[in-house]
Structure 1
Amino acid sequence: MNSVSPSEPAAGHGGAANPSIVGQGVFARVVLALVLGFPVSRPAEAATVEEVIAKVEEIAGEQGLRTALLGFCLIDLEAGPEAAAGYRMDAGLVPASVMKAITTATANELLGPDHRFVTELQTTGVLGDDGVLKGDVVIRGGGDPTLAADELSPTFAKWRDALIEAGVKRIEGRIVGDASIFGTILTPDTWQWNDLANYYGAGASGLTVHRNLFRASFRTPSVGARAPFVGSEPALPGYDFYNEMRVGSANSGDQGYIYGDPYGKLLTFRGTVPVSSGPFTIKGALPDPALFCARTFSEFLNGNGLPVAAEPTTDRLLGIAGEEIGARKKVFEQSSDPLSEILVATNHESDNLKAECIHRAIAVKVKGEGSPMAAAAAVQSHWAQKGIDMTGFFMGDGCGLSRANTVTPRQLALILHAAATGEPFETFHRSLPVAGRSGTLKSIGSGSAAEGRIRAKSGTMDRVRNYAGYLEARSGKRYAFALFVTNYSTDLASVKSKIVRVWSVMANL
């Protein structure tokens, strides 16, 4: 964008500017841009809020959106909440993943940018002079969504070394996975059955590990044939697999789904995977992350010189058996990166698991227990205390996967408006992707007037496309906004192009 000195009148803003002088200035800037090789664009007329709303109304009446539900709200960050303007601002709509903006903005204020998730390695019983631990080793989860995210061995090696340094040479007890910080509810009650066992529906365990996922591989011999199940990675002993997967055409993509319930032992594969020269892999959610962590760590120790006598278990399974974990002694702790960095990954990648763990951590901090219900109550109360009318707001989860979630464009824009006044705002603001440039917004707004001017969280479901975030207009003014499009009947590319048309008018405010 060309720089303009403070004394130079801006075109389109009225005043007593001499047209010939303005014209000479524009001509000079165009010549200079051509000499330097910069792209030249015609100066845009300054827009008004009314023109933005008119553009929203315009796209609402176009083919593909006529039967859709649109909602829009825009608020100047320098004005009060009463300055909110928009279109169907108070319609309760499904937010999809823009719910993550609410979750992360809340966590930024209540947990703080420096918050870290802490995992502890603990022992029970008595450690003898001979190095034999007559007790258990407990992995006390802190809800860290990044724990051993990509590879188990480096983390397990650190834990083994800590035990050895503490004098442990043999464990007569067992490895216990303790996920109690978030309770036993892995997935919210409002999630759909066909989401639960897939990677994007991984439950938020208090002992989350390896992103709570596994990979299932299939051979793809010919189109229409059954796709034989090759195996899982990591291995999942003790689980049964029922395979109905078939082979689709080469360009059909991943249409494979996994069905299973939290803590269940049966995983069913359905759908299609594309024909290819080698195995095709899909990702699923671990049914019991805490037990998986305890089992794989036990196997690691047995294979690396520190024998474990008894079978691994979890706090949940011990509770079912009427047992309790004994008095504990901490031997090691491991902290995550600061929340400020996790927020960036959550919003740029639209990571459901990270959002769910952050949501539950809010509940632990505010309510003293980590259920989805407690988390929702803590979030709603936080923004209500800031004067936002939360009537009709329903938060079934923290990531937006639930179709039962409801929020109005006004509520979301007001939350963003209020967040902008908080001391740690820049941490949250930085976590949001930039239109045309980064994260889930990289594919929208490139080359338009909105590129680089909008930071927002996207929300996508079947026939749902939403955006909520912040605008830095050409005038220098900053706004919070929320734009919802629900139940559209056209292709996604068309919906995105209509949204960019609105954004382009917004950029000229």
Structure 2
Amino acid sequence: MMQKVYTLPYLFYFRGMFKPPLFIFFFLFLCNALQAQTVAQQLANKIKLMQNSPQLEHGIVSLCVADAATGDILYSTNEQMGLMPASNMKVFTSVAALDLLGADYRFKTEIGYSGNIQDSTLYGNLFIVGHGDPTTGSWRYSQTKPDSIMSQIGNILRNAGISNIMGDIILDGSKFSFNPVPGGWSWDDLGSYYGAGNWGLNWHENQYDLVLKPTRTGDTVGIKSMAPEVPYASFVNELKTAAAGTGDNSYPYLPPYGDIAVIEGTVPAGGLFTVSGSLPEPFTPIAAALKQFFIDHNIVHTGTIQSSMDYTLSQKSLPHYNALIGTLYSPTLDSIIYWFMKKSINMYGEDLIKTMAMEKYGVGTTDSGVAILRTYWQERGIEKSAFRITDGSGLSAQNHVTTHGLVQALLYAKTRPWYAAFYNSLPIYNGMHMKSGTIGGVKSFSGYHTSARGKQYVFSIIVNNYDGSTDAIVNKMYSVLNELKK
């Protein structure tokens, strides 16, 4: 006769040692504790190997890992050390913006006029007043592309009965401060597309694209075209052609409000090559787009196109419209956050902190936006001394945060109604949903991952002052994070 085999819980039940609910609870608790110990030990082993590598002889690594379900810290090292986060700063900015502004928040651009309209002619000024929309003229959304923006403005004029404008056009970007970039940004970054500033009125994400014609190795690269154009800027071209396959090593220098651009470095030999830089201001290309639209659609304009920048420089009072005739709206904030995180658009981050300030104080400045961000996170448990920041994107080397603070922010995001949109905005690296960050000597990853056993982790890892290649340090960081996949 076949002998019946009883499982351990079954035997315990019949022998009266434990009641099933209590035993099962204890058994599961023991299993989870052992699993947590195993993960923590494996992480500790991998971190030790990483810390002992020559790449980190004079560097530091910080890691914090939490249980997504309970918030318990499962493993940490140097988690309270303030380190430069690079673009992991965007985690703090995104969460605060979604909370304070709302996932369905839309930026607006107002169209208004002063004077009067008679027989399809505006006798007065037309105003285009921005409220910080970072997507105006952007190629990322169908409704924000330059042609679409101009068509929307044309429709507003047509609906108001305006076919001719006998007055000036005022481009008003005064809802944001005159200084378009935060303090602490490197000169090397200001001219590049990722160092673009922001104004109350923006265009094409405030970047231009240069189409280049590489020649023979060692020779000067030709400039074929620029779009949007900045006609008053003079380019000093010191860009050379390098061997094929060497990649983009170009460095454009054109600061805000500047009119002399220097472009240095190399681009690879081969076909046409495109590099992107930051516009010194957005008003000139907006004016050019308007002029062309008016020509194409037979709208007569007899005045000039002026901007809030012009009024500031001339120390004159900026006029305002008397009648509002239409409003352009941006995509919703959750869709803006998607691109902000996926493509790490620094200009969006600076725009968001200024917008939080604008909504609270009427005018958006970096300093007031940073203050709002600091207060917001202090109220959610991050100590003031653990959150020293100067911008909203992480481009500044003056930002210092902790991996513990980043994990707190990610845990908080999980409790919010917009969490799904935030989670989907995180890029996927190494098979994990996480935001990356990179500036000189800094690499960071923060995000979420669900293991093969179905356990979700929240984590943040930052390395500062490493030596050698970025690829090498990233591989070491991946080796650590791979322990969360098991």
TM-score range, shorter chain: 0.7 to 0.9
**2:105 pairs with 1:112:** no
Map of 1:186 onto structure 2: 180
**What letter is aligned with 1:268?**
V
1:16-415 aligned at under 5 Å gives the runs 47-79=38-70, 83=73, 85-127=75-117, 129-150=118-139, 151-277=145-271, 279-321=272-314, 322-415=316-409
Q: CA 1:119–1:470 in 2, change beyond 3 Å: closer, same or farther?
A: same
Deviation at 1:64, TM superposition (A): 1.9
What is the distance in 2 between the residues matched to 1:112 and 1:415?
17
Deviation at 1:288, TM superposition (A): 0.8
Aligned partners of 1:216 and 1:233 also within 8 Å: yes
What is the distance in 1 between the residues matched to 2:273 and 2:466?
32
Aligned partners of 1:57 and 1:87 also within 8 Å: no
Percent identity over the alignment? 28
Q: Which is helix-richer, 1 or 2?
A: 2
**What letter is aligned with 1:489?**
D
What is the distance in 1 between the residues matched to 2:212 and 2:479?
43
What is the distance in 1 between the residues matched to 2:382 and 2:183?
26
Deviation at 1:16, TM superposition (A): 6.7
Report the secondary structure of 2:209's partner residue.
Answer: strand
- Equivalent in 404, 429, 433 of residue 427 of structure 2: 433
Deviation at 1:300, TM superposition (A): 2.1
Unaligned 5+ runs, structure 1? 1-8, 10-14, 19-43, 435-440, 446-450
**What letter is aligned with 2:181?**
T
Aligned partners of 1:291 and 1:313 also within 8 Å: no
Deviation at 1:48, TM superposition (A): 3.1
Deviation at 1:123, TM superposition (A): 1.5
If the length of structure 2 is used for normalisation, what is the TM-score? 0.87
What is the distance in 1 between the residues matched to 2:10 and 2:277?
64
Q: CA 1:367–1:426 in 2, change beyond 3 Å: closer, same or farther?
A: farther
The superposition leaves residues 26-63 of structure 1 with CA deviations (integer Å, 9 ceiling, x where unpaired) of: xxxxxxxxxxxxxxxxxx97733343234223311123
Query: Bigger shift: 329-338 or 93-102?
Result: 329-338
Deviation at 1:378, TM superposition (A): 0.8
Aligned partners of 1:396 and 1:402 also within 8 Å: yes
Q: CA 1:84–1:504 in 2, change beyond 3 Å: closer, same or farther?
A: closer
Report the secondary structure of 2:446's partner residue.
Answer: strand
CA RMSD of aligned residues (A): 2.4
Q: CA 1:53–1:420 in 2, change beyond 3 Å: closer, same or farther?
A: farther
Report the secondary structure of 2:407's partner residue.
Answer: helix
The superposition leaves residues 344-385 of structure 1 with CA deviations (integer Å, 9 ceiling, x where unpaired) of: 111112122222222222222344431111111111101111
The superposition leaves residues 397-439 of structure 1 with CA deviations (integer Å, 9 ceiling, x where unpaired) of: 11111111111112222222223233332332222123xxxxx
If the length of structure 1 is used for normalisation, what is the TM-score? 0.83
Deviation at 1:504, TM superposition (A): 2.0
Map of 1:501 onto structure 2: 479
What is the distance in 2 between the residues matched to 1:290 and 1:426?
36
Deviation at 1:475, TM superposition (A): 4.3
Aligned partners of 1:217 and 1:282 also within 8 Å: yes
Map of 1:4 onto structure 2: none
What is the distance in 2 between the residues matched to 1:281 and 1:475?
45
Deviation at 1:80, TM superposition (A): 5.3
Report the secondary structure of 2:113's partner residue.
Answer: strand
Deviation at 1:148, TM superposition (A): 2.1
What is the distance in 1 between the residues matched to 2:333 and 2:304?
35
**What letter is aligned with 1:147?**
T
What is the distance in 2 between the residues matched to 1:417 and 1:403?
25
Deviation at 1:219, TM superposition (A): 2.9
Aligned residues: 451
Moved over 4 A (4+): 15-18
